[in-house]
């Protein structure tokens, strides 16, 4: 967090943005960092006994378990720093999207965002052009798509088959403020994030 506010005192920033819970294997966090947040009242959950799920999986599961049922349909989890670095970590994070497909989870990096479009639904994506785009893509995940149809893209798909080893819609362009997608398989939607200088006049 201090990196986002370089002109402010680092300790003040950390005090202001205190996590409610830190959960994971605890194998990559320094002891002094854990101690710092414990003193601020953060709850620390050591889940190192579970080596079959990733830290992100553990955290998403925690959030879902503590979200009242009536509010789960409105739940949206933003995951910063989920992309970039080791490819196996990226794949693990994308796998979390598939394992929690009924929960809206958005993976965010400095360059793009990714979220899952579950199959057999009519998805309407609102593109805030001052923040994201125009470069985007649709990637079948879990199984090939025998039929995908879109509107609002430079190269729209019309009952198009997509699969690895065949066509995958990468380097597409979002033309306006709305993109619609319908597919018979789960898809990953990705769109570029504009740098601050990209949106300046």
Give the model confidence (pLDDT) of 117-135 as tens digits. Answer: 999 899 999 999 999 999 9
- Percent over 90 (pLDDT), the chain: 64
pLDDT(198) > 70: no
Helix (H, G, I), strand (E, B) or coil at 40: helix
Partners of 46 in the β-ladder: 24
Query: Do residues 18 and 42 touch, judged by C-beta distance below 8 A?
Result: yes
Give the model confidence (pLDDT) of 57-70 as tens digits. Answer: 999 999 999 888 87
Query: Who contacts 170 (Cβ-Cβ below 8 Å, separation ≥6)?
Result: 137, 139
Q: Which helix (H) or strand (E) holds 80?
A: strand 76-80
Burial of 26 (0-12, 13-18, 19+ CB in 10 A): middle
> Nearest-CA neighbor of 142 among 167, 121, 116, 107?
116
pLDDT at 141: 95
- Helix and strand element counts for the chain (H, E): 5, 12
pLDDT(200) > 50: no
As a whole number of angstroms, the distance between CA 132 and CA 194 comes to 5
Question: How large is the C-alpha radius of gyration of the chain?
Answer: 19
Query: Do residues 190 and 139 touch, judged by C-beta distance below 8 A?
Result: yes
- Percent over 70 (pLDDT), the chain: 97
Which CATH code fits 111-200? 2.60.120.320
Q: pTM of the prediction?
A: 0.85
As a whole number of angstroms, the distance between CA 167 and CA 188 comes to 14
As a whole number of angstroms, the distance between CA 140 and CA 161 comes to 10
* CB count in 10 Å sphere of residue 34: 15
Provide CATH 2.60.120.320 ranges for the chain: 111-200
pLDDT at 197: 62
Q: What is the largest CA-CA distance in the chain?
A: 56
Highest mean pLDDT of the ranges 21-25, 43-47, 113-117:
113-117
């Amino acid at each position: 967090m201090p990196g986002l506010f370089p002109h402010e005192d680092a300790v003040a920033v950390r005090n202001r943005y205190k996590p409610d819970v830190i959960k994971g294997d605890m194998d990559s966090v320094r002891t002094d960092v854990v101690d710092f947040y414990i003193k601020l009242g953060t709850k620390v959950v050591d889940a190192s006994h579970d080596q079959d799920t990733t830290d992100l999986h553990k955290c998403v599961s925690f959030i879902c378990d503590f979200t009242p049922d009536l509010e789960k349909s409105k739940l949206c989890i933003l995951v910063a720093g989920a992309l970039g670095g080791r490819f196996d970590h990226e794949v693990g994070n994308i796998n979390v999207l598939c394992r929690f497909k009924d929960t809206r989870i958005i993976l965010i990096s400095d360059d793009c965002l990714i979220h899952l479009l579950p199959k057999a639904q009519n998805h309407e994506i609102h593109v805030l052009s001052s923040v994201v785009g125009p470069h985007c893509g649709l990637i079948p995940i879990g199984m090939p798509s025998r039929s995908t149809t879109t509107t609002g893209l430079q190269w729209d798909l019309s009952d198009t088959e997509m699969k690895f080893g065949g066509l995958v819609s990468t380097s597409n362009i979002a033309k306006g403020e709305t993109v619609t997608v319908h597919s018979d398989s789960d898809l990953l939607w990705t769109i570029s994030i504009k740098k601050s200088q990209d949106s300046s006049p």
